[in-house]
Every structure is written in C-alpha cells, then in structure tokens.
Amino acid sequence: MAEATDAARTVLLTVDDDPAVSRAVARDLRRRYGDRYRVVRAESGASALEALRELKLRGAPVAVILADYRMPQMNGIEFLEEALDLYPGARRVLLTAYADTNAAIDAINVVDLDHYLLKPWEPPEEKLYPVVDDLLESWRAGDGRTVDTTKVVGHRWSARSSQIREFLARNQVPYRWYSSEEPEGRRLLAAAGQTGLRLPLVVTPGGTALVEPTERDLAAHVGLSTTPAADFYDLVIVGGGPAGLGAAVYGASEGLRTVLVEREATGGQAGQSSRIENYLGFPDGVSGAQLTERARRQATRFGAELLTACKVTGLEVNGAARTLRFADGSAVSAQAVILATGVSYRQLDVPGTAELTGRGVYYGSALTEVAACQGQDVYIVGGANSAGQAAMFLARTARRVTLLVRAPQLAASMSYYLLQRVQESPAITVRTDTVVEAAHGKDHLEGLTLRNRATGRTETVDAQWMYVFIGAAPLTDWLEGTVLRDSHGFVLTGPDLSADGGPPAGWVLDRPPYHLETSVPGVFAAGDVRAESAKRVASAVGEGAMAVMLAHRYLEQS
Ligand SMILES: Cc1cc2nc3c(=O)[nH]c(=O)nc-3n(C[C@H](O)[C@H](O)[C@H](O)COP(=O)(O)OP(=O)(O)OC[C@H]3O[C@@H](n4cnc5c(N)ncnc54)[C@H](O)[C@@H]3O)c2cc1C
C-alpha cells in the first residue's frame, strides 16, 4: 500500500513487491534525501500507480521513480510505462536482483530507462546515492516540476471551458490552462479517470478533480464563499461591481454587519476593463482587475462578507425585514438593501451567434482569450468606449483588429482621447456603416456576413474571433411587482419615482424617499442599475458610498 503523500515536496517513489526490500530502499532514500524530498513507498505496480495519480492531481512533482523488475501482475517495465504517461519528466530506474540484460534492453527501448541498478547496493553511498544525485540534477535541469495551482483541462472551442476560465480569471484565482489534446492535458484526464468526453476538468491545488463543475461548486472549492454566514444582516448589497464594492467598504467600515452578494465575479463591468483612465487618483490608469482586487481586500479588511456565484432572484418585504431569495431557494434578510446590479451586455441577435457564443463569439471581457488571439485577425462589434478599449488591448497581440461600427462615424460614440488612439493604431481598421448579418461555423466561428448600411452591399469574411460590445441593459425582471422601474428596467429612485418628484403611489412614510431610495423604504439603488445614473466607475463608487449614508439615516429612524 502506498504511504500518504504531501503535495508540498518533490517526491521520490519506489516500488518493490518484497515488503522487506521495499522498506530497505525507502529507508536508504530517506536517510540521504528525507530532509528535502518526500519518499513514497509502494508494494505493487497498481498501488504505485494509484499513488502517482493522486500526486498528479495534487500537482506534486515526482523527480525519480525506482521500480523493481520482477513483480507479479505488473512487472517493473509495465509499471514504468504507465507511470510515464503521468510523469514523463520523472527519471526512471529499474532494480533487479541479478544481472538481467534482456530486461535492461527491454526497459531502455520501452520506457527510455535512465538507470539500471543491481540489488543489493551496499554501501548505498557508493552504489545508490551517486546515481540518484545525478538523476535529481538532470531532473532539476530539465525542469520537471509541475505548478501547484488550479488546473483547467478543456477544449479551445468549448463554450463551457471558456466560461470556467472566465470565472476563475475574473475572481482572480490563478490557474493553468491545458488543452485536452496536449500531452499534459491528457495526463491530467487520465489521472482523474476521465476520457475527455466531459469537459472541462478542473483540478484544485488540493488535488480534487471536478468534472464540468458549476460556478458555485467551483467557487466553493477554490476558496470563495458562496453562502452567507448568518441569516440576518444590517445591510445586504446585491451586485459586486464598483457600486456594490464601494457600498461594502463604507458599510462595513462604518460598523454595519454587511454582506455583498455577487452572481458571477466581483468587479462587474469595470472588472472587465483593461484600463480605466478616468478614475480619480490613477493618473496612469488602472486595470479593472487591479481596482477590483484592491476593493475586495479593502472590503474584507473592514469585515464585509463577500459571496460569489450567488444569484439573487427575488426581493420580499416582511415587515421591517427585507428578504432576498437566491437561485437555489435559500434566502438572507437584512434591515436595509442596496441594489447595485449594474447592467449586462446586450446579445447580438443575428443568426449563428447564439450557437457560437464561447466558441469564437464573446461578450465583454477580452482578457481570458487574448493569448489565443495572438497573431490572428479579430473583429470587434461596437463603437463605444468599451469597444475602443478592447480594440486597443487586442491590437497589442492580434495581427489585425477590425472595428465594426454601425454608425457613419466613431466620433459620436467614443471619447476623444480613445478615438485618437484607435485611429493612430496601425493594427486597427475601422469599418463604419457596417453591421453583422450572420455568424458562420460548425464547432467554432469560421466566418461573418457583413453588410454595409450605406451601400447595401454584403460580403462574407473569414473570422475566428469576434468580440461584441453593443451596449447593455439592466437585468431587473426579478424586481417586478416589488420595486418601481422605468420602461427599460432601470430602478427609479428619489425624485424620479413620480412625475412631480413627490413620493410614489403607495408610499407609507411621512418623509419623501431619500435621493437613492427606491419605492420600497430601506431599499436603495446605486450605480448603473439606477435610472438616470452617470454610467461611470467614479459615480458608481460614489453612489455606493452615498447609499450607505442614506441607509444609516433610514436605520436611525426605523
Ligand atoms: C469594457 C468596459 C470598459 C469601461 N471603461 C470605463 C472607464 O474607463 N471609465 C469609466 O468611468 N467607466 C467605464 N466603464 C463603465 C463602468 O465600468 C460602469 O459604469 C461601472 O462598472 C458600473 O458599476 P456598477 O457597480 O453600477 O455595475 P456593474 O459594474 O455592472 O456591476 C454589477 C454587478 O452586479 C452583479 N449582478 C447582476 N445581477 C445580479 C443578481 N441578480 N444577483 C447577484 N449579482 C448580480 C453583476 O454580475 C455585476 O458584477 C466601462 C465599462 C465596460 C463594460
């Protein structure tokens, strides 16, 4: 039976069916290498393979494998051949009790043997250690190490693989990506007992293999909270964009028991921006990921609880309590609520795009797939700042970026500073008056039909990558019947709640609604989800802070 292993240290593995010999080999190895290496011992090929699979999933490096030749069921060469599939970089040593030239020749041919050792090897200082020292040195030089991080094995054109990568990246969980077709990807699949039909496979640093995980499952395994620690809070914030994070920092720092609930990943739209240049205090710009990471740290430092992969689907008023229902049926209540759900990307509604989303057609974030776009032609649909920023970002690595703009010119929709950069970039071509009529492709995007709105001419172009930035809409249907919204679904607050600026019909309190208060007392809205909001990072953060101040005022009076 293989001994328990610890992923932290590089492993030397030895397998021999004779328990006394197996123990003696392990003892000799430990005496010399035990302070720096973990020596794992097994007494059959099968249990050694089991140990190797577990080590593989845990990301533990294996430097040297010493296998006895004459073992029943599976001999040393057969074992080393299978071990090679899991750890091709490990150095391989065959042990025999007497000179067995045929075995040595076989082993050299079949498993590319590094060394052949005769037992017993007294004294080990002369016969064993010099060999293992050399093998360790060559293993280190060959960098046989694997990285102790989350690993994702998927298919380049699988929409689900793409969503999982996006989820990890936006939650700032470091991961390594392996195609299911590359050797290391195949090795990880084999270690998890998978054929590759069900992808992606996610292997956590602790060695747990998750096949086609949900975001919630994954979140829980990579250390992100998904359920509230308590049933009742002073303040629940829905949405983890700049407005929600701003509210979490101010709420928690001002002593409110605060929980923030985010359906995907904190950062919101801003988290997907490659460079925000107009946020106060960052003269050289700041990436959305950096800003999010700092805001997260700041909010948790003040004691706010942040939940991820937790979608809110309903709001109920139960006397003084405001109860939020989650997609899984569970709920959390609070005295006050801040709605900070922002807006979501509008989908491009033309034939082919729905089927190809995640397989060459992407919305919003250009970050996770950017490496794959290196040296490729990329199309970006949209003419606003988000499209311009993505074009600038992708132009760093793509061969050519074509911006498809519906309007006759860009100036109307893009900030002047960005427009100038786009126009000056040699890698970017702007095609105005142009719309996408259809996307084509079987497993992934292969072409686009474009139409010139001025001339009516259509043409089909080869395309593997298309990023769509055609505006956004608030997803607030779940508030229907509880909170008043405008005709586009934006949440009405304060003076916007009625035509004359007074309280809305059914308002029960003596005072009028506060500036960011909705038609339900104690429920506030901040950021892009609010009707008439400025749609900027700074204003969203500011409204988050202001909503907390108004929530305090509400709590003092209730
Ligand atoms: C690519 C891009 C670049 C931009 N660049 C700039 C810039 O340079 N400068 C600038 O000022 N502005 C910029 N903006 C605009 C800016 O990012 C937004 O105005 C800002 O993010 C709005 O913040 P918010 O918190 O109100 O909403 P959002 O950022 O939209 O965040 C809302 C969050 O709520 C979550 N959510 C939604 N529904 C639910 C639910 N039911 N349950 C739980 N959670 C939910 C979402 O997942 C999301 O994380 C950019 C936007 C984009 C898309």
At 127-151, the pLDDT tens digits run: 889 889 989 988 887 755 555 689 9
Candidate of 341, 479, 490 to mutate for ligand 1, largest count of ligand atoms within 8 Å of Cβ: 341
Task: Calculate mean pLDDT across residues 428-451.
Answer: 96
At 250-295, the pLDDT tens digits run: 999 999 999 999 999 999 999 878 788 889 998 888 888 889 988 9
Q: Whose CA is nearest to atom 17 of ligand 1?
A: 270
Q: State the pLDDT confidence band at 543, using cuts at 50, 70 and 90.
A: very high
Lowest mean pLDDT among 14-28, 144-158, 448-462: 144-158
Longest C-alpha distance within the chain, in Å?
100
Report the SS3 class of residue 138. Answer: helix
Dist CA 556 CA 259 (whole Å): 19
On average, the pLDDT of the chain sits at 91
Amino acid identity of residue 127, one-letter, is K
Dist CA 179 CA 201 (whole Å): 10
At 523-536, the pLDDT tens digits run: 999 999 999 999 99
* Opening angle at CA 87, ends 82 and 93, nearest 5: 75
- Examine the pLDDT at 405 and tell me if it is beyond 50: yes
At 305-361, the pLDDT tens digits run: 999 999 999 999 999 999 999 999 999 999 999 999 999 989 999 999 999 998 899
- Give the range with max mean pLDDT: 179-183, 263-267, 355-359, 543-547: 543-547
- Examine the pLDDT at 3 and tell me if it is beyond 50: no
Task: Calculate mean pLDDT across residues 472-479.
Answer: 95
Question: Percent of the chain at pLDDT above 90?
Answer: 70
State the closest ligand 1 atom to the C-alpha of 272, by its place in the atom list counted from 1: 1
Query: Does ligand 1 have an atom closer than 6 angstroms to the CB of 286?
Result: no
List Cβ neighbours of 256 (8 Å cut-off, separation of 6 or more): 233, 234, 235, 548, 551, 552, 555
Query: Does ligand 1 have an atom closer than 6 angstroms to the CB of 238?
Result: yes
**Three-state secondary structure string covering 252-313:** HHCCCCEEEECCCCCCCCHHHCCCECCCCCCCCCECHHHHHHHHHHHHHHCCCEEECCCCEE
Q: Strands 447-452 and 434-440: what pairing?
A: antiparallel
How much is the pLDDT for 483?
97
Query: Does ligand 1 have an atom closer than 6 angstroms to the CB of 140?
Result: no
Lowest mean pLDDT among 82-86, 116-120, 362-366: 362-366
Closest CA to 547 of 525, 532, 518: 525
CA of 410 to the centre of ligand 1 (A): 23
Cis peptide leading into residue 174 (ω within 30°): no
Query: Does ligand 1 have an atom closer than 6 angstroms to the CB of 271?
Result: no
How much is the pLDDT for 6?
46
CA of 528 to the centre of ligand 1 (A): 7
- Examine the pLDDT at 397 and tell me if it is beyond 80: yes
Query: Does ligand 1 have an atom closer than 6 angstroms to the CB of 153?
Result: no
Closest CA to 336 of 315, 314, 361: 315
How much is the pLDDT for 302?
95
Q: Strands 377-381 and 465-468: what pairing?
A: parallel
Dist CA 131 CA 127 (whole Å): 7
- The Cβ of residue 442 has, within 10 Å, a number of other Cβ atoms equal to 10
At 65-109, the pLDDT tens digits run: 999 998 999 999 999 989 988 888 899 998 887 766 677 777 777
How much is the pLDDT for 367?
58
How much is the pLDDT for 1?
41
How much is the pLDDT for 118?
80
State the closest ligand 1 atom to the C-alpha of 312, by its place in the atom list counted from 1: 42
How much is the pLDDT for 147?
53
Dist CA 165 CA 170 (whole Å): 8
DSSP string, 39-82: EEEESSHHHHHHHHHHHHHHT--EEEEEEES--SSS-HHHHHHH
CA of 321 to the centre of ligand 1 (A): 27
Query: Does ligand 1 have an atom closer than 6 angstroms to the CB of 535?
Result: yes
Cβ(286)–Cβ(279) below 8 Å? yes
Task: Calculate mean pLDDT across residues 38-51.
Answer: 96
102's enclosing H/E stretch is helix 101-111
Q: How far is CA 553 from CA 292, 496, 550, in A?
A: 28, 20, 5
Q: State the pLDDT confidence band at 471, using cuts at 50, 70 and 90.
A: confident
- Determine if residue 501 is left, alpha or beta; phi over 0 gives left, psi from -120 to 50 gives alpha, anything else beta: left
Query: Does ligand 1 have an atom closer than 6 angstroms to the CB of 164?
Result: no
How much is the pLDDT for 335?
97
Q: Whose CA is nearest to atom 6 of ligand 1?
A: 276
pTM for this one?
A: 0.75
- Examine the pLDDT at 5 and tell me if it is beyond 50: no
Query: Does ligand 1 have an atom closer than 6 angstroms to the CB of 325?
Result: no
Q: Whose CA is nearest to atom 27 of ligand 1?
A: 342
